[in-house]
Structure 1
Amino acid sequence: MSAVREIADRYLAALAPHEPAAAQALGRPAADRLQDFSPEWAEARRALDAAVADELRAIDRTTLDAADRPLHAAMLERLDSDVSLFDTGFTPRLLAPLATPVHFIREAFDDTVVTPDAAGDAVLARLAAVPSTLDDLRRRLEWSRDQGELGRFSGGGVAGLTQVTVVADQIASWIDPDGMDYFGSLRTQGLDAARATRLVALAADATAAFAAFESFLRSELAASAPTEDAVGEEVYQATARAFLGSDLDLDDIYAYGWSELERLVAESRRIASELTGTPVDPDVVRRAVAALEASGDQSLSGQDEIAAWLRARVDQTIAQLDGTAFDLPADIGEVECVVTEAASGVVYYLPGAPDGSSRSKIVWTIPRGLSSIATWHEVTSVHHEGVPGHHLEHSINRANASLHPWQRYLCEVHGYAEGWAHYSEGLADELGLIRSPAERLGMVLGQIWRSVRIVADLGLHTGRAIPATTIADATAWTPELAGSFLRDLAMTDAHTAKFEVDRYFGWPGQALAFKVGAKLWRDAREQSRQRLGAGFDLKSFHRDALGAGPMGLGPLRSTLLGDR
C-alpha cells in the first residue's frame, strides 16, 4: 500500500467512531447512528485534520505514481480547507437555512419507512439518538459562542441573528402539530405492536427535543447573535476559498458575474420575445411567464402527479444519455424521486449511504399552499440535482473502484460538485434534453439565478459597489435589492428570493461555487477539444475528467489542464 493510501485509511478509521459515513465507507455497519456534533469532537476533528495534512505535506509529490497524485492533492486541499473553515468559526457556529447539522439530523429520516426487521430497528435506534445528538449540538453552539468571545475565531463564534431565527422558524414548521408533525408522520410497514409502541414514544421524544432546541435558539443563542449579517472581505476570502478549493481573485469573479448576468438577461428577453411575439423590453420576460402560467401548459397538481412526472423525466434522461455523452453505471436508475411539502420550496439531492442502507434521493419540496407547479421552470433544477448533475456525478464516482473510499464517499467540495451540476444544466441543452422554448427560458432563468448569486453574495458580504449597468440603477447592495434581482430577473417567487438571500448570509462564498466551478469544467473541455482536434470525444472527456474523483477546483484545474 502506498504512503498516501495508508494515511487515508488511518484518517477514515479515526473518523469512523464519530461519523457514520466514514464507518460505512470502511464497510462497517453504522445505519443505527447519527453523526457526532459534540464540541469535543469538533476540537478533535480540527486537530486530526491539521495533523494528517502535515503528514501529506511531508510527502514528496515527485515520488508518487500517477494513481496517487490526485488523491494526495485532493486530500491535502480538503484538510487545509476544513481547518480554515474551523478557524473562521464557520464550522463550529454553523446555522443556516440548509445543509447544517440541524438539517442533517432531520434528513436522516427523510422518506424513511420503519419496517419490522433490522433495517427498521436501525431507524428506531437513530430516532432514539435524536435528543442526545441535539444536546451535543447545543453544547457545541454554546462552546463556539464562548470561544468566539475569547477571540478564537476570525468570523466570530455565533451565527448571525438572521440565521438563528431562520433555523428556529424551520424547526417550528417541522414539528407543528397542525402542519407537518415530521417525526409523528414517519411511515411504517407491517410493524408489530412492540415496535409500533416504541416508534410513537421515540417520535414524541424527538419532537420534544427539537422543540427544546428551537427554544434554545430563540431564548439563549439569539441574545448573543450579531445583527450584522455580512462577514467582511477577510473572512469571506477564507470561506470562499475553502468552499471552492482554490485561490480566488474576487474582483475578477465579481466582474465575471456581472458580465454573465447581463448576457443572460438579454438572452432571456430574446427567448421571451419569441414566445410572446412581443418586442424585447424590460417586461417581456414577465409577460412570457404570465402567459405560460395562464396557459397551464406543463403544469402539475398534487404530490403524486409531480412525483410521477419527476420519475419519468429522470428515467427518460438516463436512457437518452447512456452511451452518448457518458457510459453510465448500471445502478444509476436506483434513485428515489421524492416530492414533499416544505417551507423552502427547493429541489435538492441526497446521496445514498455508502453501505447502501439508504438510496440516493432527488427531493422536490413544494411550497405549502401551492396548488400546482409549472415544470418548464423546474426542468433545469431536475437536470442539476439529478442527471446529468449531482446524481450522475455521485454515481460515477461511487462506481469508480480505483478511487480511495475517502474520495468516493466523503470528499465533498462545493466548487467541484455544484460546478459540475451547473455545467450539466447547459450540457443538458446541448444534448437535446431541453424540449421546448419554455423549458429553455426556464434554463436561462436558472442560470440568471446563479449569476445573481455571484454578484449579490460578493456585494452583500464585502460591500463591493454596483457597476454602471442597464440592469440596476442602485449603487449599493442591500438584502432587499438582492431579493428584487431574484424576483425581477430570475423570476423567482418572493418566498424563494428571501430564502436565497438568507442562504447567502449563512454560507458566505458558497454561492460562487456554481458558476465559477462550471466555468472551469467548460474551459477544460474547450482546451481538450483544441488540443485533440478531430480526436476529441465528449464521452471520453467526461470519463477522464470525472475519473480523477472529487477535489477542490485548484487541484482539479491542475489535473484537467495538465499543469502538474
Structure 2
Amino acid sequence: MTDTTPTPSTADEATATRTPTAIDAVADAYVDTLARLSPGLRTYLGLPGDQSELDDVSPAGLAELDAERTAVLGRLAKLAPVDDVDRVTLAAMRERIGLESELYDAGEAFATLNNIASPLQEARDIFDLMATDTPEDWAVIATRMGNVPGALAGYVESLREGAATGLVAARRQVEIGIAQSEELAAPEGSFWTQLAARGAQEGGDAAALEAGAARAREGYAALAQFLRDELAAQAPERDGVGRERYQLFSRSFLGATIDLDETYEWGREELARVVAEQEATAAELFGAGTTPEEAMARLDADPARKLHGTDELQRWMQETSDAAVAALADTQFDIPEPVRRLECCIAPTQTGGIYYTGPTDDFSRPGRMWWSVPAGITEFGTWREKTTVYHEGVPGHHLQIGQTTYRSALLNKWRRLACWVSGHGEGWALYAERLMADLGFLDDPADRLGMLDGQRMRAARVVLDIGVHLGKPAPAELGGGTWDADKAKEFLFANVNMGEGFVLFELDRYLGWPGQAPAYKVGQRLWENIRDETRAREGADFDLKAFHRRALDVGSVGLDVLAQALR
C-alpha cells in the first residue's frame, strides 16, 4: 500500500472537522490562477472576475499556462501530506497536472481541432452559460462577442505553430471546422445574429449587441479562411493517430493506464453481451423472434410513449428527475439538500447534444441538464430517454458533481471545482444507468431496452475507437483488412439505433477526439471493478450506500487514484 491511499473512515470524519492544510492552500491558489488565465473557467464555475474576455489559446497563452503547471508541481514537491485527504490531493494533482504538461510537451495543445470540443466550439459554447437577466448582463455579452476575433486569432497562431512541427488534425476535422466556422460567420441565421436579436428583445443595447455579433462573425470568417486556404493542405488524410499518441489521450480521459489490446477484446465481448440482453428484452416485449430493431421501431410508433414539442419534453424531464431524487434521497444515496434541486432545460442551440452543467460553488446557479434539440425534431420517445435523465441527473452527473461541490469542509477548491476526469465522470454516469436498472427503476422492458440501446453504442465505440486509431485488424463481418473510417461507419450504423445525422456526427467525433468516447464504457468497467473489489474486501460489512458516499466524496479524480483512495 502506497502513501496515496486514504482510509474512507478518515475522509468521512473530515467532513465536519478537517482544517485546511498547506497542500489545500496550493490547490486553492491554483484554482485562482486558472481562473485568472481562463475567463471561460470563471464563467463555467461562476467565479468572480471579468466575464467579457475569452481564453487566450495562442502560443503565448498556452506557454503561460504550462509555466503555471510547472510552478504548482514544484510547490507541491516541497510539501508533505498531513492526512489522507492530502495524500489524495497530492496524487490527483500530480497525475492531472503532470499529464497536461505531457500533452503540452508533445505538441497536442497546438493541434486541437475536432467537431465537438476544441477552441472553435468553446469560444461559442461559453455564451450558453452567461447571465442574461439585466441590460448590464447583455452589455457583457456584447463585449465578449466583440472579443471573439482576438481569441480565434490566437487559436490560429497555435494551429499554425502545430503545423510547423508536423502536427495537424486529420483533413476530415479541418473540413468540419471550415463548415462550422462558415455557419457561425453567416450574417443571416447564425448563432451570433440570433443572440444579438434576443438580447435586444430582452432590454439590451441593440446597437452594441449587433456590433458585437458582427465582430464575432468576422472572427469566424477569418478562421474559416485560414482553415480552408492554409491548414487543409497540410492536414493528413489518415484519421487514426497511432498507438503512442492514443495511449497518451486514453490516460488523459481515464486517469488510468489500460492495456489497449485487452480493452479492445473486452469491448467486443461486452458488445456481444449487450446485444444478447437486447434480444432477450425485445422478445419479452413483443414475443420470440422480435429483433431489437423491430422492437424499437414499434416503441417509436407507440403514442403512449411519445412527447410532443420541447415544452412537453422539458416538463417530462423535470418530473422524471424530481421523482428520481425523491425516491433515492435517504434510501440509496446521501443527497445534500442543495443537490436535490436540478433544473432541466432546453438548450438555446440545436446540435442534438444532451449535457449537464454543474452548480456554482454557492449553488446560486443550480446544476442543469440541457437538451439541445435539432431543428425540426418535435417528437421524443420516453422509452429512449428515461435512462438519459438518470445519466445526466440523479444518480448520474448531478449527484456526482453536486455532491463534490457541496463538500467544502472536506475538499479544496481544486478537488471540488477544477478537476474533471471523463472516465470518472462519464463512467459514473453509465454506472448509474445500470444501477437504476438493478434498483428496479427500469423494470418496464421498454425503458430497459432504451438503457441497453445506449450501452450498446458505448460498447461499440470502444471497439471502433481503439480499432481505427491503432489500425487494428477489422472483424470478419466488416470484410477484414484494417479498421478505417469506412469500416467504422458501417460498424456504427449496425450498432446505433439513431438517425443518420446523429450517427455521422458521432462518427466524426470518435475519429477526431481519440480516446474520449471509450472513457464512458471503460470508466463504467473500472467503477464496477472498484465496487466489486471493495465488496470482496469488506465482505459482510459492505454497504452499497456507504460505498457510494465514500467514493463520491473523493471527487472527480483519475480512476487509478480513486481505486487507491478507496483501498
**TM beyond 0.5:** yes
- Flag the 1:248–1:51 CA change in 2: closer, same or farther, 3 A: farther
Question: Which residue of structure 1 aligns with residue 273 of structure 2?
Answer: 263
Distance 2:362 2:215 in 1: 28
Cα separation, partners in 2 of 1:182 and 1:428, compared to 1, 3 Å: farther
User: TM-score, normalised on structure 2?
Assistant: 0.89
Match in the other structure for 2:179:
169
Question: Residue 56 of structure 2 aligns to which amino acid in structure 1?
Answer: D
Per the alignment, in what secondary structure is the counterpart of residue 301 of structure 2?
helix
Give the alignment partner of residue 493 of structure 1, picking from 487, 493, 499. Answer: 499
Q: Any conservation in 2 of the 1:376–1:442 contact (CA below 8 Å)? A: yes
Match of 1:432 among 440, 465, 481: 440
Report percent identity of matched pairs: 37
Q: Deviations over 1:160-185 (max 9, x none)?
A: 11112223323344455554544423
Contact between 1:482 and 1:501, CA under 8 Å: does it hold in 2?
A: yes
Aligned to 1:11: 30
1:43 aligns with 2:48: no
Partner residue of 1:153? none
Deviation at 1:533, TM superposition (A): 3.5
In 2, Cα distance between equivalents of 1:519 and 1:321: 23
Query: Could you say which residue in structure 1 is the equivalent of 2:195?
Result: 185
Which of 389, 392, 414 is equivalent to 1:406?
414
1:424-463 map, 5 Å: 424-434=432-442, 436-463=444-471
1:332 CA drift (Å)? 2.6
Q: Structure 1 residues 545 and 500 mapped into 2: Cα distance closer, same or farther (>3 Å)?
A: same
Residue pairs, 1:264-343, within 5 angstroms: 264-279=274-289, 284-340=291-347
Deviation of residue 261 (structure 1)?
0.6
String of CA shifts for 1:189-229, please: whole Å, max 9, x gaps: 87557x23322221222223223322322222222222111
Structure 1 position 32, deviation (Å)? 3.4
Query: Offset of 1:545 from its aligned partner?
Result: 0.5
Q: Does 1:31 align with 2:46?
A: no
> Shift in Å at residue 49 of structure 1?
1.7
Amino acid at match of 1:4: I
1:232 partnered with 2:250: no
- Segment drifting more, 183-192 vs 515-524: 183-192
Q: Which amino acid aligns with 1:19?
A: S
Q: Which residue of 2 aligns with 1:125?
A: 143
2:132 equivalent to 1:114: yes
Secondary structure at 2:117 match in 1: coil
For residues 510-549 of structure 1, the aligned pairs below 5 Å read: 510-549=516-555
Q: Which moved more, 1:330-339 or 1:348-357?
A: 348-357
Shift of 1:342: 5.5
Does 2:74 align with 1:68?
Answer: no
C-alpha distance 376-472 of structure 1, shift in aligned 2 (>3 A): farther
Contact 1:115–1:189 under 8 Å retained in 2: no
Report the equivalent of 1:152: none
Is 2:390 aligned against 1:383? yes
Distance in 2 between residues matched to 1:537 and 1:30, nearest whole Å = 46
Instruction: Work out whether residues 338 and 364 of structure 1, in 8 Å CA contact, stay in contact via their aligned partners in 2.
Output: yes
- Cα 1:241–1:422 change in 2 (3 A) is same
Corresponding letter in the other structure for 2:52: D
Greater CA deviation, 310-319 or 356-365?
Answer: 356-365
TM-score by length of 1: 0.89
CA–CA distance in structure 1, aligned partners of residues 372 and 47 of structure 2: 32
1:461: Cα distance to partner?
A: 0.5
Match of 1:227, SS? coil
Report the equivalent of 1:346: 353
Counterpart check, 1:205 vs 2:224: no
d(CA) in 2 for partners of 1:331, 1:354: 11
Residues in 2 aligned to 1:355 and 1:125: alpha-carbon distance in whole angstroms = 26
Q: Which residue of 1 aligns with 2:512?
A: 506
**Counterparts in 2 of 1:209-220, with a 5 A limit?**
209-220=219-230
Distance 2:192 2:318 in 1: 24
Distance 1:115 1:131, change over 3 A: farther
> Given the superposition, is the C-alpha separation of residues 182 and 351 from structure 1 closer, same or farther in structure 2, using an over 3 Å criterion?
farther
Q: 2:375 pairs with 358, 368, 371, which one?
A: 368
CA change 1:294–1:23 in 2 (3 A) is closer
1:130-149 aligned at under 5 Å gives the runs: 130-146=148-164, 148-149=165-166
Match for 2:423 among 372, 397, 415? 415
Match of 2:259 among 249, 258, 280: 249
CA distance in 2, matches of 1:294, 1:115: 41
Letter in 2 for 1:12: V
Change over 3 Å in CA distance of 1:168–1:361 after alignment to 2: farther
With 375-384 and 284-293 compared, the bigger mean Cα shift is at: 375-384
Task: Give the whole-Å Cα distance in 1 for the aligned partners of 2:296 and 2:182.
Answer: 33
Q: In the aligned structure 1, how far is the partner of 2:234 from the partner of 2:362?
A: 40
Change (3 A) 1:173 1:360: farther
Compute the displacement of 1:403 (Å). 0.8
Distance in 1 separating the partners of 2:32 and 2:421: 21
Q: Which whole-Å deviations, capped at 9, do the CAs of 1:290-343 have from their partners, x for residues lacking one?
A: 211222332223222222222222222222221122121322354442324766
Taking the aligned partners of 2:319 and 2:449, their CA distance within structure 1 comes to 21
Please report how far the alpha carbon of residue 540 of structure 1 lies from its aligned counterpart in structure 2 after TM superposition: 1.1
Query: Can you list the C-alpha shifts for 1:467-490, whole angstroms capped at 9, x where unaligned?
Result: 56xx76645323233223332223
The aligned counterpart of 1:87 is 105
Helix, strand or coil for the counterpart of 2:370?
A: strand
Secondary structure of the corresponding residue to residue 241 of structure 2: coil
Change (3 A) 1:21 1:64: farther
CA distance in 2, matches of 1:180, 1:316: 38
Shift of 1:531: 3.2
Distance 1:219 1:418, change over 3 A: same
Q: Render the CA deviation track for 1:133-160: whole Å, top value 9, x for unaligned.
A: 22222222222223x24xxxxxx2x211
The whole-number CA distance in structure 2 between the counterparts of 1:51 and 1:179 is 45
Larger CA deviation: 496-505 vs 347-356: 347-356
CA distance in 1, matches of 2:226, 2:360: 31
CA distance in structure 2 between the partners assigned to 1:435 and 1:394 by the alignment? 27
Report how many aligned residue pairs link the two structures: 545
1:88–1:77 CA distance, 2 compared to 1 (3 A): same
* Paired residues of 2:40 and 2:126 also in contact (CA < 8 A): no
Q: Distance in 1 between matches of 2:473 and 2:336?
A: 47
Find the aligned partners of 1:173 and 1:355 in 2 and give their Cα distance: 37
Q: Are the aligned partners of 1:21 and 1:353 in contact in 2 as well (CA < 8 Å)? A: no
Give the drift of 1:492: 2.6
> What do you get for the CA RMSD once the two structures are aligned?
2.6
Letter of the 2:418 partner, please give it: L
Between 367-376 and 425-434, the greater mean CA deviation after superposition? 367-376
| Contact 1:98/1:503, CA 8 A, preserved across alignment | yes
Q: CA deviation at 1:446?
A: 0.5
- Whichever structure has more helix as a proportion of its residues is 2
Deviations 1:540-559 (A, max 9, x none): 11111111111111111111
Greater shift, 373-382 or 351-360, is seen at 351-360
Q: What is the alpha-carbon distance in structure 1 between the residues aligned to residue 192 and residue 438 of structure 2? A: 40
